[in-house]
Structure 1
């Protein structure tokens, strides 16, 4: 489709293998696919992920030997290869920009290497350097240690691992004009292969809504929900366009919990959202609008996965103050971890921080009946692709490193 970034099939095949290969993680115990799995519609089914050191998949994933939960919900990958996408991550810390001369404004700033094909290829490199996602803790492996020296110091180590595998080297030489011998294989080619896979694998534009656009009526409840979505409920104010996102940042007043996305000078277990990237107070507690394509498949919902169902999230949008007050901790999908009991909900005891968060809200309440919530939910289900569970490549049975595949 012309609306998507072009990707080479041979490069995508390499990306499929790397996506599920634990060789890219510091301790060789987690892959991209662990938290963005085919069986879980490119997510992990958890409110806050269990990254490096965890065991298993989805709601059955065991905490294992982790030091901290991943502080945000694992975003789905549907349609992020669309040409309209120019910002990624919940806080938008990766944007298409020439500010640093490499095509992107990113956490790596000028140290992000040249030659990445698109924003998805660039995005794929950052979980590899995240301590609680894939890198591991300092002292455990050379990737983690290098990352703590400078973010780009780990990427050559990871690339060297891949170069040490003859199968990967042969595939890269065949698929990439830039690779003629092993030393030509760098993190750039690895990122571009991962991007090629993600960009092609998670395309989805064959939903009942797409059929409606072509003239096929929606089921009655979904049609009522469509009218509300684009009308009185005002959902389309932010969830607009072909992907149902304005790519903007908005404060929804979601219930707070988790370890927070702490910063060097701010160790409180809170997440200030976009402000963590821009340092602008006007961006505090605002998060990127997610796409709603296949949203019915990607529970739980919100930047921290606060709500387990679409109906819960719709009700929050309709009346965020009341919904936040009624929220209970058992609504969060958090694998049991007794040692985190004092951390998971600690921020909720900070009355001043809670007051700050409540004061920032970009949603105007709208009265919705029980039936109207059901109608909007039916419309959101109509955004699920008919072939969403039949991906063109899928999960590989094995990977060249020989490491286990989740």
Structure 2
């Protein structure tokens, strides 16, 4: 029996913002001023020309030069490590129903949390925030490998290293003061009624831009739901499979093809890992389990939305698969996908190194990943796979892929922007 189709997306599914705030957020999104060493912007790893990600499995963050596959380590400020997880796409994450952020959900709406949003330890909010999206924008700027840099390189990084996040001498206050010292930013915030600039004001402007710029709700699938505009025959056949035999909608449900839940699908693990539990190797990634501490959550990761999925490769929490067909086939038989993983599928800046795949060579770790798999195998023919891919392509909003506003010609800091 097929699952029902979702209701059409409407304007009510998204908050709206003043254009002045959106434009301010756009400048901040592309401005390297928010990084400790003033050398990387939000857009570096979430660039519109690269599907709002960076087209790589794992990024080179702070200390790199260039975009996507062209990004290399700089000679005078080399990165200390690859980013351990794939830079997620930003399409539609400003919709009201997106209340959980990051692959592991470490930022989420919660009535029991400070100001109603749960944040990682040591990163609790100082003021109320309107959304989980705005709250999450306050975290990459604190990450040594993503944006802040290493201790001793700048005042932001040194504050983070010393555990000074909050208060008048904390990393957030240092960054807010840096923005306030630029007249073009200070005056524009003041025009919106913000006199004593706080990091939450900056984060809300970023969220306003992301919500508006990367809304993707005018795909062939959207038009079919809204007014019955026919899909192509292969797309329609793929839709029937998606909501029926292939069981994709078990997890990829709702108007944005995500249940916002966490599932273990046996993704091959590589890269530096993201683990602090002494019972597991550093190169492991326990996913949701690292946040909750619940063993049943180990190796679970958030279900991504599939909107514009044809544009957002590579796929998986660490970008294990460069082709959409390959991640689809992994879902058909997750154990076979894990044990038979082709390491050449990983897109790693500077080329893959043997140490990138230590987790795949650890038999015990592979057994743990395999034992956590919770999705069931499904048998599909080659023709059915092609039809599913056609439907996934029907989730593409071509206008959103280009962006409504695009990048600014320059940013108020005067710093150079990354360009493709």
Smaller-chain TM-score bracket? over 0.9
**For 1:115, which of 125, 128, 136 is the aligned residue?**
128
Task: Tell which deviates more after alignment, 29-38 or 95-104.
Answer: 95-104
Note if 1:335 corresponds to 2:330: no
Deviations 1:285-327 (A, max 9, x none): 0000000000000000000100011100110001111222221
Change (3 A) 1:386 1:349: closer
Deviations 1:155-198 (A, max 9, x none): 001011101101110110112x2x23xxx011111111111111
* 2:6 corresponding residue in structure 1: none
* 1:372 corresponding residue in structure 2: 384
Note if 1:149 corresponds to 2:162: yes
Note if 1:173 corresponds to 2:190: yes
Q: What is the total number of aligned residue pairs between the two structures?
A: 399
* 1:193 corresponding residue in structure 2: 205
What is the 5 A alignment of 1:259-298? Answer: 259-263=272-276, 265=278, 268-298=282-312
Alignment check: 8 A CA contact 2:31 2:415 kept: yes
**For 2:258, which of 230, 235, 245 is the aligned residue?**
245
- Give distance in 1, aligned partners of 2:103 and 2:172: 23
Note if 1:49 corresponds to 2:59: yes
Alignment check: 8 A CA contact 1:201 1:393 kept: yes
- Give distance in 2, aligned partners of 1:243 and 1:165: 38
The SS at the match of 1:387 is helix
The SS at the match of 1:50 is coil
The SS at the match of 2:401 is coil
The SS at the match of 1:2 is helix
Change (3 A) 1:197 1:319: same
Note if 1:72 corresponds to 2:107: no
The SS at the match of 2:115 is coil
Change (3 A) 1:114 1:108: farther
* 1:299 corresponding residue in structure 2: 313
Give TM-score scaled by structure 2 length: 0.92
**For 1:325, which of 320, 324, 339 is the aligned residue?**
339
**For 2:150, which of 137, 146, 155 is the aligned residue?**
137
Compute the displacement of 1:343 (Å).
Answer: 2.6
- Give distance in 2, aligned partners of 1:220 and 1:351: 45
The SS at the match of 1:348 is helix
* 2:119 corresponding residue in structure 1: 106
Note if 1:31 corresponds to 2:41: yes
Q: Unpaired runs of 5+ in structure 2?
A: 1-10
Alignment check: 8 A CA contact 1:90 1:273 kept: yes
- Give distance in 1, aligned partners of 2:116 and 2:406: 30
Q: Unpaired runs of 5+ in structure 1?
A: none
Compute the displacement of 1:224 (Å).
Answer: 0.9
- Give distance in 1, aligned partners of 2:99 and 2:402: 27
What is the 5 A alignment of 1:1-12? Answer: 1-12=11-22
The SS at the match of 2:379 is coil
- Give distance in 1, aligned partners of 2:121 and 2:94: 21
- Give distance in 2, aligned partners of 1:367 and 1:92: 31
* 2:393 corresponding residue in structure 1: 381
- Give distance in 1, aligned partners of 2:363 and 2:402: 47
**For 1:256, which of 260, 265, 269 is the aligned residue?**
269
* 2:5 corresponding residue in structure 1: none
Alignment check: 8 A CA contact 2:99 2:133 kept: no
- Give distance in 2, aligned partners of 1:26 and 1:192: 20
Alignment check: 8 A CA contact 1:260 1:269 kept: yes
Compute the displacement of 1:206 (Å).
Answer: 0.5
Backbone CA RMSD of aligned residues: 1.4
Note if 1:311 corresponds to 2:345: no
The SS at the match of 2:108 is strand
Runs of 4+ residues over 6 Å off in structure 1: none
* 2:28 corresponding residue in structure 1: 18
Compute the displacement of 1:362 (Å).
Answer: 1.2
The SS at the match of 1:92 is coil
Alignment check: 8 A CA contact 1:63 1:337 kept: no
- Give distance in 2, aligned partners of 1:373 and 1:290: 20
Compute the displacement of 1:99 (Å).
Answer: 2.4
Note if 1:390 corresponds to 2:407: no
Change (3 A) 1:292 1:215: same
- Give distance in 2, aligned partners of 1:114 and 1:355: 43
